[in-house]
Chains A and B, each alone.
Chain A
C-alpha cells in the first residue's frame, strides 16, 4: 500500500456518533399541566431530574435552565414530549414506576426522598416520621433541609411532610403553594390543626385496636364514637393499641 493509499484509507475512518449519544449528554425539558398550574420538567436518559412550577421561574424557560444548570450541571435542550409516566404520576399524585435521575442528590437526601415518595396522596406525615423511616430518628432538621433541596417536588411529594404541631411548614415553592397542593388532595388542614391544638397527634380505634397517624386512610374510617386521640404513641400503646402497619406511626 502506498502512502497515498494509507492517507486515503485514514480519511475514510471518520465516523458519526450514534444519534442517541446526545441524550446521554443533554437533558430535555417540557412544560406540562400540573396541580398548581403548569410545570417545567427536565429529564435525562435515566429519568426525571428536575421540576419547577412555571410560577416559581416566572414562566421563563431560560430561568428554569439556569436553575437546572446550577443544580444538575448538564446541558438542557427542548424536548418534544413528556417522558412516559409523568402525566399519570401528576394526575394520580403518586410516582408509581416513574424513574428519577437523582445523580445530583446525596445519599442521605436520596433516602429521604425515597421514604417521602411512599406517602399516599391526601395524607401527610411529620418530618420526624421521615427521619424514623430512614432509620435516623434524630435527623429531623436534616430531613427538612433535604426536602427543601428536593429536585423533583410534586412528583416526589415533599409537600406531604408537615410539622408535628399541626402547621404545614416550609415549602420549596412557598407555604401557600403547599397549602393549595394539600387542599387539592383533600387533606383537612383545619381539622389537623384543631387536633394538634388539643394535643392529639395519633388516633386510635377501639373496634380494631389500632392506632394511626390522623390522615391515614384507616384513621379516617374510625367513627367518632370509637375514636380516641393520643398525644404520644407510647400513651396509645399503654392503652392497649398497636401501631398501624400502613402508616407506621412509630416506624423504627
Chain B
C-alpha cells in the first residue's frame, strides 16, 4: 500500500500547490484514500462503511454550506452516497483502484445539487435559508463561543450571496480545507481558474460583510 504522503506529493508534482499545501502529516491524516480503496476492493459493503466514515463530514459540510439548508444537506448527502454506491457496484476493480474518492464524491454531490436545484427552480420558492450555526463547544468560553457563532452564522448566510462557482470554491478551500488542485478537479476547471474563484469569493465575502456590518443581519 502506498503511503498517504505519496498522494500529497502527487499534488505537489503539479508545481502549483506549495502555497496551499499543509505538511505531509496533516495531509496523511486528512486523506484516508488508500485505506478506503483497500476496503472497497475487499468488500463493497464493508468498504462503503469506510468510505462513509472517512468522507461524511466533508460531503455533508459541502452540502450544508453550498445549499444553505440543513434538511437539503441531509437529502443531498444521502443521495450522493447512494449514487456513489451504485456506481461502485458497476465499476471494474481497476477503476475503483484508480479512484480519488474525495474529489469523486464531491463531484457527485455537486451534480446532485445542481440537478436538484433545476427541479426546485420549477417549483415556487421554498423556506428561507437556515443560518445553521454549529453547536457550542463546551470547552470554549461563553463569550468566545458567542462571537464565533455570530461570525459563523453571518458567513454561512453571506455564502449564499456568492455566485455559484465562487461559493463552491470557497467552501471547498476554506470550509473543507481541500488543496486547490483537487478543487479544480471537482469544478472541472484549470487550477488558475479555481484559484481565482477562491480569491474573488473571499473578497466578495469581505465586501458583503462590510456592507452588512453597519446594517443588521436578521437573526432567526
Residues of A that sit less than 8 Å from B by CB: 1, 3, 5-18, 21-22, 24-26, 62, 65, 69, 73-77
Collect the chain B residues with CB atoms within 8 Å of residue A74's CB. Answer: 82, 85
Q: How far is the CA of A188 from the CA of B114 in the complex (A)?
A: 60
Contact of A7 with B156 in the complex, beta carbons under 8 Å: no
Contact of A21 with B48 in the complex, beta carbons under 8 Å: no
Instruction: Please judge, given known A-B contacts A3-B206, A9-B151, whether A14 and B175 are in contact too, CB under 8 Å.
Output: yes
With CB as the reference atom, state the residue of chain A lying closest to B170: A10
With CB as the reference atom, state the residue of chain B lying closest to A20: B74
Collect the chain B residues with CB atoms within 8 Å of residue A62's CB. Answer: 43
From the candidates B44, B85, B156, name the one contacting A13 in the complex (CB within 8 A): B156
Q: How far is the CA of A18 from the CA of B49 in the complex (A)?
A: 15
B45 CB–A CB distance under 8 Å:
yes
Kindly identify, within residues 153 to 186 of chain B, every residue whose CB is under 8 Å from any CB belonging to chain A: 154-156, 170-171, 174-177
Contact of A3 with B202 in the complex, beta carbons under 8 Å: yes
Number of interface residues of B (CB under 8 A): 44
CB distance from B180 to the nearest CB of A (A): 14
Collect the chain A residues with CB atoms within 8 Å of residue B49's CB. Answer: 26, 75, 77
Kindly identify, within residues 44 to 77 of chain B, every residue whose CB is under 8 Å from any CB belonging to chain A: 44-46, 48-49, 52, 56-61, 64-65, 73-74, 77
With CB as the reference atom, state the residue of chain B lying closest to A77: B49
Contact of B151 with A1 in the complex, beta carbons under 8 Å: yes
Instruction: Please judge, given known A-B contacts A21-B56, A69-B44, A75-B85, whether A11 and B177 are in contact too, CB under 8 Å.
Output: yes
CB distance from A134 to the nearest CB of B (A): 31
Which A-B residue pairs are the 5 nearest by beta carbons? A10-B174, A17-B60, A9-B151, A75-B48, A14-B61
CB distance from B101 to the nearest CB of A (A): 15
Q: Could you jot down 30 A-B contacts, CB within 8 Å?
A: A1-B210, A3-B202, A6-B205, A6-B206, A8-B151, A9-B152, A9-B155, A10-B174, A12-B151, A13-B61, A13-B152, A13-B175, A14-B176, A15-B60, A15-B64, A15-B65, A16-B56, A17-B73, A17-B74, A21-B74, A21-B78, A22-B52, A24-B78, A26-B49, A65-B44, A69-B44, A73-B89, A75-B44, A77-B45, A77-B48
